[in-house]
Amino acid sequence: MTSKPKPNLGVIFLGHVDCGKSTIIGHLGFLTGSVTKKQMDKCEKESREGGKESFKYAWVVDKTRHERSRGLTTISSVLNLELTTKSVTTVNVPGLANFLPKLMERVFHAEVAVLVVSAAEGEFESGISTNGQTEDHLRIASSFGVEQIVVVVNKMDDRNVKYSFKRYREVKTKTMHLLESNGYCANDVPFIPISGWCGDNLTENSTKMEWYTGETLLSTIESMHVPFKYADLPLRMPILNVFNISGLGTVPIGRIEFGKLEVNQVVKFGPTNTSGQVLSIQSFGKSKLVAYPGDEIGFHVKDATKKEIKKGMVAGDLENDPPSRVSSFQAKITLLNASPSLTINSKPRLFIHTLSCICNVDTMLQLLNPESADEILKKKPSVLNGGDTAIVVLKPQAPICVEPFDRYPKLGRFMLMMSKKLIGYGIIKSVTKAEN
């Protein structure tokens, strides 16, 4: 008899550049046995030879030559942790401002966000400054519906911090204000002082911070709730990448959000009519006959090429409500307070699941009271300003596949950018499918 798979929890690590996300994930992976001693020894040897020994844990997830030479994460990476009660897929994302799109294509997967802030003098302040990314990361997580959040105050071992409770309390107080201003109840958010490098409070309570009596990061993650997975809905798997593997063939990569994928199933890649048969499924080096919501997988598909399958497409069951091209969609949007005005024919960039494209503001139907969405302040407004909430119709300027929020929530939340700045967020109320 096949044992029932452990529930899968998606955990994304957020935070300003150089706050220590990669080091925390790599060290946590090693301490939990998800990273073997052989793998760790290799990272330690390579980092020492490169004159960057303090990056040995970070190099577990930062694997490219470019990342290692700069000491910065530039590519999203995934590490799977097999814990006692659940399987945890950790996602590391870049912390630089120009990599926000990489964050948005990953955060919609997550059920938990771990916000990393640095206790080091000047580093925390840089992260929460106007040019810092701490608040943008929080805002994106909140806008994409990530309800469970943990804050870790990293670098408590810094030579100027010296595991100081006073500094921890200062950082915690300021971070709580950011949480509240971005839709989180700060009093319900766990705060954990840690050292990603030394391992304090990662898997065992630190003897250097006896003033902290809470849980470790590992036990906190293990206690997080795994939301209900919609395996009974038609298959939806947004494509994150596609590879042509020698000796195998075309392998799309992504995470199943709804439904299930089985070997021999025929899948369609919306918004196109490309389809193919699933020959095999892999997840973190292990073969599967069936993959369920939450599983990060690659699958070998027959009769479909890398040229035909693109990032941002959505795989679905050819015989059961396959994903279709959408010509326009009605959405409820909220503009951020500092947003530029939107008018008819404004062209913001849409970020939804693994897709981004320019959309045209086709129609403005209603201006709503942001405090009471049922109250219509004005019909057919001519302009929307920062802080406004409205019902609008958006027309994508490229073929896309999206879904109503009330049916497929993770495929119905989005954010908008203009001039490389976040300007708003929204949910899709209804879609108009394109005629074949």
Cβ contact 367:378 at 8 Å = yes
E strand or H helix at 21, and its extent? Answer: helix 21-31
What is the amino acid identity at position 253?
I
Cα 18 to Cα 132: distance, rounded to the nearest angstrom: 11
Split at pLDDT 50, 70, 90, the class of 121 is very high
At residue 173, the pLDDT reads 98
Q: How many helices (H) and strands (E) does the chain have?
A: 8, 24
> 8-222 sits in which CATH class?
alpha beta
Span of 80-84, 238-242, 312-316 with lowest mean pLDDT:
80-84
Gap between the Cα atoms of 146 and 109, Å rounded: 9
Between CA 62 and CA 55 the distance in angstroms is 9
Tens digits of residue pLDDT in 47-88: 888 887 888 888 888 765 655 555 555 556 788 998 988 999
Q: Residue 73: what pLDDT? A: 53
Tell me what pLDDT residue 1 has. Answer: 42
- Tell me if domain 237-317 and domain 326-433 are identical in fold: yes
Among 159, 119, 209, 154, smallest CA distance to 25 is for 154
Identify which has the larger pLDDT, 114 or 85: 114
- Give residue 69's pLDDT: 52
CA 19, 22, 26, 32 dihedral sign is positive
Q: Are 275 and 267 in contact (CB under 8 A)?
A: yes
Chain segment 176-212, per-residue pLDDT in tens? 999 999 999 999 999 999 999 999 999 999 999 999 9
Lowest mean pLDDT among 41-55, 113-127, 289-303, 344-358: 41-55
State the Cα–Cα distance between residues 154 and 209, nearest whole angstrom: 13
pLDDT band at 115 (very low <50, low <70, confident <90, very high): very high
Band of residue 3 on the pLDDT scale cut at 50, 70, 90 = low
Question: Higher-confidence residue: 46 or 155?
Answer: 155
- Please give the helix or strand (H or E) that residue 172 lies within, else none: helix 165-181
Please state which of the four CATH numbers 3.40.50.300, 2.130.10.30, 2.40.30.10, 3.40.50.360 is assigned to the domain occupying 326-433.
2.40.30.10
Report which of residues 3 and 204 the model is more confident about: 204
Give 125's contacts (C-beta < 8 A, 6+ positions apart): none
- CB–CB of 243/311 below 8 Å? no
Report the alpha-carbon distance of residue 189 to residue 194 in Å, rounded: 16
Asked if 392 contacts 364 with a C-beta cutoff of 8 angstroms, the reply is yes
The fourth-level CATH superfamily of domain 237-317 is: Translation factors (2.40.30.10)
Position 54 scores a pLDDT of 80
Q: What local confidence, expressed as pLDDT, does residue 248 receive?
A: 87
In the numeric block, which tokens belong to residue 269?
């890649």
Report the distance separating Cα 120 and Cα 197, nearest Å: 13
Residues 149-178 pLDDT 10s: 999 999 999 999 999 999 999 999 999 999
| CA nearest neighbour of 157 among 167, 147, 148 | 167
CA 358 to the chain's CA centroid: 21
At residue 321, the pLDDT reads 95
> Does position 393 have pLDDT exceeding 80, yes or no?
yes
Check whether 351 has a pLDDT greater than 60: yes
How much is the pLDDT for 77? 78
Instruction: Calculate the average pLDDT of the chain.
Output: 91
Domain ranges of the chain: 8-222, 237-317, 326-433
What was the pLDDT predicted at 51? Answer: 81
- Residues 119 and 18: their CA atoms lie apart, in Å, by 12
Which residues, including other chains, have CB under 8 Å from residue 412's CB and lie 6 or more apart? 352, 402, 403, 404, 405, 406, 427, 428
